[in-house]
């Protein structure tokens, strides 16, 4: 399993946010009975934020957005759901915060070493397990000439267009 030092090197510095993700990932791996990070999509993480902790999760679990097994469900919470496709087990960790006012270094050390049940609430994940990533055929935008996956293309006046070139597309 990857170390705290490896996470800090990947992230660029040590901070309490990184410690939250690192510790949640380590606990999730233990809970799911896994020793190595995801080589493909057998392990999935849904993060409810895009903060520092996500880097710890990537390093420890091997889940990445590029592989399609790190997914964001933005609630702003320090909450992370982990799924093991092989076993069917899942767990959601929610950071509970640190008791009392401590300095940055003390807070970080407490997150890394404190009792798990004081730091995190955990239960079976409630968000549905996402489907495995799909690989779609690429098409070319008739206006800008750039390629895009077919499901993201739009048909406008008989032409295949990307979302940037389509005048009827609105991102609400």
Give mean pLDDT, residues 85-102.
90
Distances (CA, A) of 36 to 25, 66, 115: 11, 18, 23
Strand partners, 83: 44, 90
**Each residue's pLDDT tens digit, 60-93:** 999 999 888 999 999 999 999 999 999 999 999 9
Q: Are 52 and 26 in contact (CB under 8 A)?
A: no
Check residue 101 and give its pLDDT.
64
Q: In this structure, is the dihedral angle defined by the CA atoms of residues 10, 14, 17 and 21, taken in order, positive or negative? A: positive
Right CATH for 134-172 from 3.40.1350, 2.60.40, 3.30.60, 3.40.1000 = 3.30.60
In the chain, domain spans: 4-123, 134-172
Distance separating alpha carbons of residues 62 and 69, to the nearest angstrom: 9
Phi, psi of 85 (to 5 degrees): -65, -35
Q: What is the mean pLDDT of the chain?
A: 92
CATH number of the domain located at residue range(s) 4-123 in this protein: 3.30.1330.130
Lookup result for tokens 């710890």: 56
Lookup result for tokens 């270094």: 105
Distance separating alpha carbons of residues 168 and 142, to the nearest angstrom: 15
**Each residue's pLDDT tens digit, 14-23:** 999 999 999 9
Q: Which pTM value belongs to this model?
A: 0.83
Given a cut of 50, whether residue 172 has pLDDT beyond it is no
First to last CA, the chain: 41
């Amino acid at each position: 399993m990857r170390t705290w030092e490896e996470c800090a090197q990947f992230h660029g510095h040590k901070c309490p946010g990184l410690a939250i993700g690192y510790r949640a990932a380590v606990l999730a791996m233990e809970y799911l009975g896994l020793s190595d990070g995801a080589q493909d999509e057998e392990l999935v993480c849904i993060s409810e934020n895009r903060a520092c902790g996500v880097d710890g999760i990537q390093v420890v679990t091997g889940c990445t957005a590029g592989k399609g097994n790190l997914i964001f469900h933005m609630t702003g919470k320090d909450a992370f759901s982990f799924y093991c496709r092989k076993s069917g087990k899942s767990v959601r960790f929610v950071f509970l915060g640190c008791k009392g006012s401590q300095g940055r270094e003390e807070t970080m050390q407490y997150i890394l070493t404190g009792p798990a049940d004081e730091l995190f609430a955990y239960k079976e994940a409630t968000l549905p397990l996402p489907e495995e990533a799909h690989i779609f055929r690429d098409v070319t935008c008739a206006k800008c000439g750039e390629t895009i996956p077919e499901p993201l293309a739009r048909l406008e006046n008989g032409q295949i267009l990307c979302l940037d070139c389509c005048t009827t597309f609105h991102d609400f």
